[in-house]
Structure 1
Amino acid sequence: MASIRNFDILDNGRLHVLSLSGSTGPAPITSPFSFNTDDGIHDLAWSESHDSFLIAAVAVGSLKLLDTSLPPTANPVRSLSEHSREASSLDFHPTRRASFLSSSWDDSVELWALDRPQSLRTFLEQSYCVLSVSTYGMSVT
């Protein structure tokens, strides 16, 4: 779960990883991991190739690669900063699981790989901010 305070006008965001226990007791939902950012978080996506990795799209345009197996103080593992405006959405490729797309209010879509510090390709065909991106039907070669 990602959150933004004050409608992303100012202030920070917080990412919560929730865990559901099988019990019906007083605390079936716990939050074993949380991470604070200086700006709001617009989207997040879990890696299917690394169980503990997730990526957060942050309002300042950066993407934060987080590892939930590490303590919050050791995160982010990597910060990717090629977008010049708010990063708005993320989606991992369903078969090339180490590849993902990010979109931004800077009119771009970026193709990334988890093992690379820079994007593999930038798509600038859009004429206005890109609010959502999907890898459905996309082939990566």
Structure 2
Amino acid sequence: MWDVDREPDVSRSTGGKAPRKELASKAAKKAAPSTGGVKRPRVVALREIRRYQKSTELLIPKLPFRRLVREVAQDLKTGYKFQSAPIGALRKAVEHFLVALFEDTLLCAIHGKRVTIQQKDMQLACRLRGGHYLDLL
């Protein structure tokens, strides 16, 4: 459908409204690559749980933990120095303790017919473990 004087006419209609031109934002959305859809929070959380359960590395960062240990030691007595091996062992023990505490907390929440842990679950888990660190909560 080429005319000598005109550009090609793609859509010849027999009347009615002319087709609307797309806005620039709509055209940009169509041109952009698809991101794979909407991410559901539950699916992402389950994927993270699987990833962290498979991994064996410690999740507490080294330098912030080292600073925390130094700060606590400074409150007790000044002049302490720490080698990296004892701090690593302490970091491993703290992470193991916290994971076990959260496991017990989750069991307390499940016992209360809930899936979301609450502060009262952690308090109960601490009491069942002996309660000598209950004042930290």
Shorter-chain TM band:
under 0.3
Larger Rg: 2
| TM-score normalized by the length of structure 2 | 0.25
Higher helix proportion (structure 1 or 2): 2
| TM-score normalized by the length of structure 1 | 0.25
| Greater RCO (CA < 8 Å, at least 6 residues apart) | 1
